[in-house]
């Protein structure tokens, strides 16, 4: 039986006091509440963080309504630094992939160490969409409302940071609620964007790459040049073969991906819309230029003279 990976409910890691971690060169700013626009925090268990204000007083830091926090649980000094960078980039990608009233704007608003915590600030609509979407994808293999495929793919990127050294659990905290990004969430996310659907449809393009034994061909879709796999029955083999290298319209049962792009088609019918372009043979161009182009010399003599120049 596989050992269950711990979740944040199992963790109780403490953040290291900042003064113990900062180098002597940075020690003079240890009491500042903000350094270069990033909040440095420390505190007790994950989900409760503290910072020192200008008077060196400890105060608890809570998430703002427009903040989303990614939390990597693990023992202090053991978390692979790449996990932190990848987690921040994945969260940023998730936010930017969610529908909003205006282009997404994000900024790091809060960092903590020990276990690793980073918060990103964005608009309230995207925060709400992410919170509701996390609840959806925790129980169903579907793309949440307002999310894009990119948002779901970023969620999978975030889950993969849990495989980095020292990371024992990954979570997203929004408005005080922590969502574990565990194997169940990842499985639902993967199924939601890996699913395909079939329907009747047609596609135009250039037909090529015929394989009579496997009864397959390929079509370069007009306008996109995307390659569409074509499957046909033995009864349509000669018709497909005769249309090779021509512009065609084919119809049948099409399979589309999550981007609504046609991936393949089971052929039911075919119509040639433009015959293949005539191929120019070498014999067709021999003698095209008159002898005056080489001063009356044949090609061998003319090339020899050019080399001697």
DSSP 3-state percent helix, strand, coil across the chain (nearest 5): 30, 30, 40
- In three state form, how does the secondary structure of 113-153 look? CCCEEEEEECCHHHHHHHHHHHHHHCCCCCCCCCCCHHHHH
Q: At what angle do helices 149-160 and 124-137 cross, to 10 degrees?
A: 70
Q: Is 25 exposed, middle or buried (0-12, 13-18, 19+ CB in 10 A)?
A: exposed
Q: Per residue of the chain (309 residues), give pLDDT as tens.
A: 445 555 555 544 333 333 233 332 222 223 222 222 222 222 223 344 445 445 555 444 566 778 898 999 988 888 888 899 999 999 999 999 998 878 888 888 878 876 788 888 888 999 999 999 999 999 999 999 999 989 999 999 999 999 888 999 999 999 888 999 999 999 999 988 886 778 899 999 999 889 988 999 999 999 888 889 999 999 999 999 999 989 999 999 999 877 778 889 999 999 999 876 655 565 666 666 666 667 777 777 777 777 776
DSSP assigned state of 55:
T
Helices first, then strands: H and E counts in the chain: 7, 14
pTM value surpassing 0.85:
no
The H-assigned helical ranges of 30-123 are: 81-96
Please give the domain boundaries of the chain with CATH numbers for all domains.
Answer: 8-194 (no CATH), 197-274 (2.40.50.140)
Which SS3 state, helix, strand or coil, does residue 160 take? helix
Q: Which residues contact 103 (CB under 8 A, 6 or more apart)?
A: none
């Amino acid at each position: 039986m596989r050992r269950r990976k711990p979740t944040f409910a199992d963790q109780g890691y403490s953040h290291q006091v900042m003064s113990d971690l900062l180098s002597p060169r940075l020690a003079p700013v240890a009491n500042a509440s903000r350094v270069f626009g990033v909040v440095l925090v420390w505190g007790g268990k994950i989900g409760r963080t503290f910072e020192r204000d200008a008077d060196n007083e400890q105060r608890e830091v809570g998430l703002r309504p427009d903040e989303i926090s990614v939390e990597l649980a693990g023992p202090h000094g053991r978390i692979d630094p790449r996990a932190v960078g990848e987690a921040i980039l994945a969260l940023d990608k998730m936010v930017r992939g969610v529908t909003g009233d205006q282009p997404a704007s994000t900024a790091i608003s809060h960092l903590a160490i020990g276990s690793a915590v980073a918060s990103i600030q964005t608009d309230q609509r995207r925060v709400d969409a992410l919170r509701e979407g996390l609840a959806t994808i925790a129980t169903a293999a579907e793309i949440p409302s307002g999310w894009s495929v990119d948002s779901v793919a970023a969620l999978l990127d975030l889950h993969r940071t849990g495989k980095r050294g020292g990371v024992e659990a990954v979570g997203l905290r929004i408005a005080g609620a922590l969502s574990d990004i565990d194997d169940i969430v990842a499985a639902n996310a993967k199924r939601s964007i890996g699913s395909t659907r079939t329907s009747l449809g047609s596609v135009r393009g250039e037909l090529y790459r015929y394989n009579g034994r496997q009864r397959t061909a390929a079509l370069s879709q007009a306008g996109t040049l995307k390659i569409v796999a074509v499957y046909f029955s033995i009864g349509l083999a000669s018709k497909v073969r005769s249309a090779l290298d021509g512009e065609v319209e084919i119809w049948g049962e099409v399979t589309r991906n999550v981007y609504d792009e046609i991936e393949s088609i089971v052929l039911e019918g075919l119509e040639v819309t433009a015959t293949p372009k005539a191929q120019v043979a070498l014999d067709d161009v021999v003698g095209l230029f008159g002898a005056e182009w080489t001063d009356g010399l044949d090609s061998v003599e003319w090339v020899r003279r050019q080399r001697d120049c």
